[in-house]
């Protein structure tokens, strides 16, 4: 089964679990009238809405490319994550506002012990679901599934904090702590929403993913062929689980078109073997510039060398992202 359909299946379970937990948390709130528990319940509304959007985005991103979407539909995942982040932010603001109001207009808390048990159960289920979703998301490179998983796990952590707060309320009989706990975790939810939105906007704007680039460059450098004189102007754009990579590869100037194409295929096969995500390469081949690049070229079989080899340039983020042939500016 492909990553795309596995992602959709897991997200479907996330939706179902979210609906069940939503009912359980609001039941706990109605029993206790606790703002801290209401914090958890309101976040669950966001969870369910975000889960449905994530499900739709995963389904849409799995559709094959067509004439209207030549790069596929993967960008919808970033839009989904942006909406999810804004919903989280809104929920956090609502929680802080209501809890602040109840500092001045308090409500009597009831049946906290029963509410505590219900909330503890939902927290455990949330964490387990989030762990599975995030693990699959990282395995497949799906931002939507990673976002769902992280959201569920953060919800579980906030639930754990709320449980601690409720225990203190039961021990010290201090009902005002209920609002304080709710405000604290409301602020935490706002921060979580900001992080989700930040990542989504970065994806929509095609912000450079330096971590991914570093892994890719290191893999190419480790398996570098002598005929690969240099690699530069490298960029990566992510469309859902698909990586679109373009770069310039410098090869010996006397290579035929066929030989140049074979070097491009070797890079493609190396990336395909090394990474689980589908990879599309757009490689522009450049010819080397003797004698300056002869000094960094490790192609010992070259019969057209015009200068002795002096040093090998290791590929890294600094020299592969530039639109400059290696060895040209140094000599």
pLDDT band at 228 (very low <50, low <70, confident <90, very high): very high
Could you give the angle at the alpha carbon of 77 between the alpha carbons of 74 and 80, nearest 5°?
150
The pLDDT value given to residue 1: 45
The DSSP symbol for 241 reads: T
Choices 3.30.70.1350, 3.65.10.10, 1.10.3720.10, 3.40.50.970: CATH for 210-320: 3.30.70.1350
Domain boundaries along the sequence of the chain: 3-204, 210-320
The mean of the pLDDT values for the chain is 82
Report how many helices (DSSP H) and strands (DSSP E) the chain contains, helices first.
Answer: 9, 3
Q: Is the pTM of this model over 0.75?
A: no
Strands of the sheet containing 230-239, edge to edge, are 230-239, 242-251, 279-287
pLDDT in tens, 123-136: 899 899 888 888 88
Most confident of 20-24, 36-40, 248-252, 280-284: 248-252
On the question of pLDDT at 7 being above 80, the answer is no
Most confident of 147-156, 164-173, 304-313: 304-313
The number of beta carbons lying within 10 Å of the beta carbon of residue 318 is: 7
* Integer Cα distance of 231 and 163 in angstroms: 54
**Neighbour-count burial for 152-185, b at 16+ CB within 10 Å, e otherwise:** bbbbbbbbbbbbebbeebeeeeebebbbbbbbbb
pLDDT band at 331 (very low <50, low <70, confident <90, very high): very low
Instruction: Tell me what percent of the residues of the chain surpass a pLDDT of 70.
Output: 91
pLDDT in tens, 234-278: 988 877 667 888 999 999 999 999 999 999 999 988 888 877 677
pLDDT band at 183 (very low <50, low <70, confident <90, very high): confident
State the average pLDDT over residues 302-324: 91
Name every residue whose Cβ is closer than 8 Å to that of residue 164 and which is 6 or more positions away in sequence. Answer: none
The pLDDT value given to residue 240: 63
* Integer Cα distance of 151 and 135 in angstroms: 13
On the question of pLDDT at 72 being above 70, the answer is no
The pLDDT value given to residue 176: 80
Size of the chain, expressed as the number of residues it contains: 331
On the question of pLDDT at 212 being above 50, the answer is yes
Instruction: Tell me what percent of the residues of the chain surpass a pLDDT of 90.
Output: 25
Where does 3-204 sit in CATH, by number? 1.20.1510.10
The pLDDT value given to residue 168: 82
């Amino acid at each position: 089964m492909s990553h795309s359909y596995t992602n959709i299946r897991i997200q479907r379970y996330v939706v179902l679990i979210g609906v069940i937990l939503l009912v359980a948390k609001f039941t706990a709130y109605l029993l206790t009238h606790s703002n801290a528990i209401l914090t958890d319940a309101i976040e669950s509304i966001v969870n369910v809405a975000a889960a449905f959007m994530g499900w739709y985005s995963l389904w849409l991103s799995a559709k094959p490319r067509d004439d209207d979407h030549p790069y596929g539909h993967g960008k919808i995942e970033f839009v989904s994550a942006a909406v999810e982040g804004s919903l989280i932010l809104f929920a956090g603001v609502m929680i802080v506002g209501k809890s602040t109001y109840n500092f001045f207009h308090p409500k009597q808390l009831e049946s906290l012990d029963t509410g505590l048990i219900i909330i503890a159960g939902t927290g455990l289920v949330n964490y387990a679901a989030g762990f599975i979703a995030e693990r699959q998301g990282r395995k497949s490179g799906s931002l939507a599934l990673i976002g769902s998983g992280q959201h569920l796990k953060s919800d579980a952590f906030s639930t754990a904090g709320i449980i601690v707060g409720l225990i203190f309320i039961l021990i010290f009989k201090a009902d005002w702590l209920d609002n304080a706990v709710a405000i604290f975790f409301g602020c935490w939810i706002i921060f979580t929403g900001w992080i989700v939105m930040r990542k989504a906007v970065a994806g929509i704007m095609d912000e450079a993913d330096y971590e991914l680039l570093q892994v890719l460059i290191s893999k190419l450098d480790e398996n570098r062929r002598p005929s690969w004189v240099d690699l530069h102007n490298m960029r990566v754009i992510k469309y859902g689980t698909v990586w679109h990579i373009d770069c310039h590869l410098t090869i010996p100037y006397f290579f035929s078109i066929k030989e140049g194409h074979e070097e491009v295929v070797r890079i493609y096969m190396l990336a395909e073997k090394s990474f689980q995500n589908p990879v599309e390469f757009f490689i522009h081949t450049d010819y080397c510039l003797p004698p300056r690049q002869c000094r960094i070229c490790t192609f010992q079989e070259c019969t057209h060398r015009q200068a002795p080899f002096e040093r090998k340039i290791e590929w890294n983020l600094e020299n592969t992202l530039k639109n400059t042939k290696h060895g040209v500016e140094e000599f």
